[in-house]
């Protein structure tokens, strides 16, 4: 990759100011396969200056001009989709087929949904004699994670471009190469100089600059709650807008009206998808207490049938987790589940027996878990499911809401029952009966899962300021 040790600033691939580099590790082999440059404070400030300079002109472009730009980007994203998927698979371990169709494919969906939402979006309208105007929020600092990298890049960059913002992106240094491909696509599409800038680096260096810089008007962050708190603290002195999508510990309530086989097996698979590395994964499965044994049997069979293996193998269901620290954290939490008395139903410590290298984790299910156990409270971010029992629907709601997080929740069973219960769950998105992903639905969390919403028209609102021009229309008749 020609640009791996460069940054994209002011419409050009430029040499970094510092000399620090970092190896990118293939989690399937534990070996480096690329090297990137790591940005300094000076690199980040250079990118912020470019974005600030470009804002004056790009913020005044027309809706038509920006729609044409988004459509050009979408065309090139489609052409390079498999290339993006392949590099994501290499960086963070997702199976190749899944990386192409879901990891890279969701980036396409976000641009398509943003275009659709933008076509219907009213940037200005009249409210009596007052004009209401949606204007770009300004220069945006974007800090994105490694687990769904293009997903989180696209759902920030697309609405920022749509609303006339300029930006500096710091992708995760763990999975940075897909962002370099993305920058190449934006360059080919003709994004004006300085509108989009990319600087690789770590959070304490580049991330802190973006969060604290007085010329950054908004910081949009996706990552852990711990890191999100640091971003908010760094942003506070400049009173910039802070948008955060953080951690989760999502409940999946199986109602008595549900088909247990369908609900539990789907719940296990959805939990371990992407090797469990999804902030909205349904990691707490709530089942009626009297059907716990039945649920355990289904969960065991489902987990044991999941194939863990090399990302390039078409038979693989889940690949490795992203790196050694993540592997070790998951192993520690599996150990805590055992020590604290949860019933180990499937999986457990260590790699699958047929794999002697790579950060592979056995799909693990614990049952008879209680809400005070560590595995029921902490975000594990691995293929580990906790099954909890409930006595009544009120009990299920209380257990589901007994968490500092509130990103997502799931309900399986009778539709009318599920609709009623959805209003009682303190979560930003509720999915009923294994519903398909909706790229136009608002995405974001309650409580310590963050603030603000992404996707579709909700993303457009996040990247705008609202201005009221009072007396814009002739009000003589009124006065």
Catalytic residues: 245, 279
Could you give the CA distance from residue 308 to residue 273 in angstroms, rounded to a whole number?
11
What DSSP string runs through 273-311?
A: GGGG--TT---EEEEEGGGHHHHHHHHHHHHHTPPB--T
Contact 421, 397 (CB under 8 A): yes
In terms of C-beta distances under 8 Å and separation of at least 24 residues, what long-range contacts does 389-394 make, across chains too? Answer: 389/286, 389/287, 389/288, 389/289, 389/292, 390/253, 390/286, 390/287, 390/288, 390/289, 391/288, 391/289, 393/255, 393/417, 393/421
Contact 365, 263 (CB under 8 A): no
Burial class (CB in 10 A: 0-12, 13-18, 19+), 435: exposed
Where would I find the beta strands (DSSP E) of 98-240?
124-127, 130-136, 139-143, 166-170, 196-198, 218-222
Contact 137, 465 (CB under 8 A): yes
State the SS3 of 91-111. Answer: HHCCCHHHHHHHHHHHHHHHH
Apex CA 301: angle with CA 295 and CA 305, to 5°?
Answer: 145
Contact 94, 274 (CB under 8 A): yes
Could you give the CA distance from residue 448 to residue 227 in angstroms, rounded to a whole number?
12
Output DSSP code: residue 207: I
φ, ψ of residue 196 in degrees (nearest 5)? -120, 130
Per-position b or e across 45-74, b if 16+ CB within 10 A of its CB: bbbbbbbbebbeebbebeeeebbebbebbb
**What's the Cα-to-Cα distance from 412 to each of 274, 286, 401, 405, 424, rounded to whole Å?**
21, 10, 17, 20, 15
**What's the Cα-to-Cα distance from 391 to each of 286, 340, 426, rounded to whole Å?**
10, 22, 20
For 374, the enclosing helix (H) or strand (E) is: helix 374-377
Output the CA torsion 196→200→205→207 (10° steps).
Answer: 50
For 314, the enclosing helix (H) or strand (E) is: none
Could you give the CA distance from residue 471 to residue 478 in angstroms, rounded to a whole number?
11
């Amino acid at each position: 990759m020609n640009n791996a040790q460069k940054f994209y600033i002011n419409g050009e691939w430029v040499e970094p100011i510092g000399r620090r580099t970092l190896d990118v590790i293939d989690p399937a082999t534990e070996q480096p396969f690329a090297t990137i440059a790591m940005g300094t404070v000076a690199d980040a400030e250079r990118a912020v200056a470019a974005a600030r300079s470009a804002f004056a002109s790009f913020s005044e472009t027309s809706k038509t001009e920006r729609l044409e730009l988004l459509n050009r980007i979408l065309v090139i994203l489609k052409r390079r989709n498999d290339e993006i998927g392949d590099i994501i698979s290499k960086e963070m371990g997702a199976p190749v087929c899944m990386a192409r169709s879901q990891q890279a494919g969701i980036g396409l969906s976000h641009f398509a949904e943003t275009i659709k939402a933008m076509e219907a979006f009213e940037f200005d309208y009249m409210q009596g004699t007052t004009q209401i105007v949606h204007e770009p929020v300004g220069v945006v600092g974007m800090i994105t994670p490694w687990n769904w990298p293009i997903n989180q890049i696209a759902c920030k960059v697309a609405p920022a471009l749509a609303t006339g913002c300029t930006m500096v992106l710091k992708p995760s240094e763990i999975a940075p190469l897909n962002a370099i491909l993305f920058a190449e696509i934006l360059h080919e599409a003709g994004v004006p100089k300085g509108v989009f800038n990319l600087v690789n680096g770590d959070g304490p260096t580049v991330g802190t600059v973006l969060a604290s810089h007085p010329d950054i008007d908004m910081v949009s962050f996706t990552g852990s709650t711990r890191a999100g708190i640091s971003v908010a603290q760094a942003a506070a002195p400049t009173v910039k807008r802070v948008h955060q999508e953080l951690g989760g510990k999502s409940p999946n309530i199986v109602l008595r009206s549900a088909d247990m086989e369908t609900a539990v097996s789907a719940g296990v698979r959805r939990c371990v998808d992407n090797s469990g590395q999804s902030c909205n994964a349904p990691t707490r499965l709530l089942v009626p207490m009297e059907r716990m044994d039945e649920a355990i049997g289904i969960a065991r069979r489902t987990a044991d049938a999941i194939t863990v293996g090399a990302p390039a193998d078409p038979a693989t269901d889940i690949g490795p987790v992203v790196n050694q620290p993540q592997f070790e954290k998951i192993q520690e939490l599996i150990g805590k589940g055992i020590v604290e008395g949860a019933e180990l139903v499937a999986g457990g410590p260590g790699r699958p027996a047929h794999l002697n290298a790579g950060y592979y984790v056995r799909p693990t299910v614990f049952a008879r878990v209680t809400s005070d156990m560590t595995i029921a409270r902490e975000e594990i971010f691995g293929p580990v499911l906790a099954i909890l029992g409930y006595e009544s629907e009120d009990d299920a709601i209380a257990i589901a809401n007994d968490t500092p997080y509130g990103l997502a929740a799931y309900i399986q069973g009778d539709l009318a029952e599920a609709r009623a219960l959805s209003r009682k769950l303190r979560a930003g998105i509720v999915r009923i009966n294994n519903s398909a992903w909706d790229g136009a639905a608002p995405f974001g969390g309650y409580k310590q899962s963050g603030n603000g919403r992404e996707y579709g028209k909700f993303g457009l609102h996040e990247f705008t300021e609202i201005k009221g021009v009072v007396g814009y229309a002739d009000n003589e008749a009124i006065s």
